[in-house]
Structure 1
Amino acid sequence: MKQTLLVLLIVLNSVLSVQIVLAQSDTVTITYSEEAADSSDFSLKEKYKYWTRANVEEKSMFKIGLSSIGWGGGPFVGYHFAYERKIGVPFSILAQYEHNVTGWDNNSLGFGAATRYYYLMPGLIKKGKSANNLSSLYLSLQAENIWSSHRDAFLSNNSVMLSERQIQRIAAFSLLQGIQLRLGKYGYLDANLGYRYSPSLKRDYVELNFSVGVAF
């Protein structure tokens, strides 16, 4: 688990660093159509903006993705469905369903809602470096209801036995710093790191999320 979290943390830190540098650098704005056919003459930054669709306006996105989650009860791997929509320039709201699996015969499903603040977006739009979209750094406040189903394994007469299935409802709230990027016309990457608190478990811990998939 420690190695997985370390790798994901390094990836997140690298992507965040690239995004900040590109957002702050001063270059001539490049304008292109959504169906631009040839990007072979683009500079590195222009290619980055092209493939992350920085200059394409996009106010809503439906996402289907694979996810990896690391926190006090993890790590988990699973899939999710999410819908995100802009409300104004810097803010969006998000709703999602997720199904995660960890360990022996353990899984969980949950529903979450979040608001995101794309804090660089107003400045980037004003400078002509981005359209109003969902591809940038963000801060997020998230609430979740999770139903966890698990059975514990134990030894009995030299045989592995399973306990009766237990189902637990867990409420959790998270404050996250993250980045979401478009990967071409139909792909996306979303990664965040932050603080998570569960009143159900009366615990708090660091949370790390990473997801990649298709988006429309």
Structure 2
Amino acid sequence: MKAISTPFLTLLAALALGCLQTAHAQQTTYSQEDSAVTTGELKRLYRYITRANVEEKTLLKLGFWPNAGDRDYTGRPSFRIGLNADVSVERKITPSFSVLAGFDVMLRYNRFRRFDVPYDQHGNGDLTDTDKMVRNLMYAKIGTRYYYSMAKNIRKGRSANNFSGNYAGLQVSKVIVNQTNRRIYDTKTGQTVRTDRINGIGTYDFPVVFPHWGMQRRMGRLGFVDVNAGPEITVPHKYDSAPIFNDGSHFFEKYYKPTVALRVNAVIGLGW
């Protein structure tokens, strides 16, 4: 048996090393990159949800928001709850301007703490008082809105002529239904005496002017969110033959002066 020469062994080692390098070079290397949501993708998702690129010139709205506030009978409440509803239509006149009209419906429930001892409210021997009250109101309203960034967003291709945007608005409303049902009880015996139905009472009967700032967003095909705030200005008028509450007392004549209060609305509802 002949010995293998050193040059031959060197050649075999070189061939084996070359084959290993070739096989290693032919292997496919897989690497997994971390998935990240870009800012552009988030903006596209936001425009999709708010229908920013869908042109809409008319929006029918049905919205709701809770509201326990009450401009009358707040001296002695122990519990109160309410619900407001917005039924309206908004129509674009230009991409930046719209007009709206509709109704605001307000439901109020007040339950007053009963007196622990007999109470003569007017000092005339009458021991009766109110313990529960339900109020139903409906306002007719008209208004206009100026979407101050809409034209610029359309020029930049970020929006279409729709109802998703920030706006400055002016709204005027007047009550057309004002009905109060209140239960009267005897403060001595605790028994219910009667239930009164009263139409047209209190400062709700006066026109209201509401300049405001707000933002409205569409939420998919059938939703919208509308948030606005501003000073609510009540414009009273004086009755010719009687003061406001029609009870023979002139104490309430101070309410003939205009009043200003902060109003905040946050409405979520359906829009078509």
What TM-score comes out, normalization by structure 2 length?
0.59
Q: 1:187 aligns with which of 211, 223, 227?
A: 223
**TM-superposed deviation, 1:163:** 5.4
- Are 2:229 and 2:265, in contact at CA under 8 Å, matched by a contact in 1? yes
1:165 is paired with a residue whose SS is: strand
Residues 58 and 129 from structure 1, CA distance in 2 versus in 1: closer, same or farther, beyond 3 angstroms? same
Give the aligned residue type for 2:54: V
1:106 to 131, 135, 138: 135
Match of 1:164 in 2: 196
Offset, 1:65: 1.9
Q: Is contact 2:68-2:108 (8 Å) kept?
A: no
2:99 pairs, out of 80, 90, 93, with: 93
Deviation at 1:214, TM superposition (A): 1.3
Q: Residue 142 of structure 1 contacts residue 173 of structure 1 at CA under 8 Å; is this kept in 2? A: yes
Stretches of structure 2 lacking an aligned partner (at least 5 in a row) = 1-36, 73-80, 110-132, 237-254
CA 1:62–1:137: 2 relative to 1, 3 Å: same
In structure 1, distance between residues paired with 2:98 and 2:190: 55
Q: Which structure carries more relative contact order (alpha carbon 8 Å, separation 6+)?
A: 1
Counterpart residue number, 1:14: none
**2:184 and 2:196 in contact (8 A); partners too:** no
The number of residue pairs the alignment matches comes to: 177
Structure with greater Cα Rg: 2
Deviation at 1:207, TM superposition (A): 0.5
The worse-fitting range, judged by mean Cα deviation, of 142-151 and 161-170 is 161-170
Q: 1:96/1:69 Cα in 2 relative to 1: closer, same or farther (>3 Å)?
A: farther
Range with greater deviation from structure 2 (183-192 or 197-206): 197-206
For 1:151, which of 172, 175, 181 is the aligned residue? Answer: 181
Q: Secondary structure at the match of 2:138?
A: strand
Identity between Structure 1 and Structure 2 (%) = 29
8 A Cα contact 2:212 2:229, kept in partner: yes
Q: 2:47 aligns with which of 46, 49, 63?
A: 49
With over 3 angstroms needed to count, the CA separation of the structure-2 counterparts of 1:155 and 1:109, relative to structure 1, is same
TM-score (norm 1): 0.74
Where 1:107 maps in the other structure, the secondary structure is strand
RMSD, aligned α-carbons? 2.3
Query: Residues 99 and 145 of structure 2 are in contact (CA less than 8 Å); yes or no, is this contact kept in structure 1?
Result: yes
Query: 1: distance between equivalents of 2:143 and 2:87?
Result: 14
Distance 2:216 2:261 in 1: 23
Structure with greater proportional strand content: 1
AA aligned to 1:47 is L
Provide Cα deviations, 1:91-126, integer angstroms capped at 9, x if missing partner.
Answer: 000001122111231110111001001011111111
Higher mean displacement: 195-204 or 116-125: 195-204
Contact 1:61/1:83 (<8 A) preserved: yes
Q: Which blocks of at least 5 consecutive residues in structure 1 are unaligned?
A: 1-39
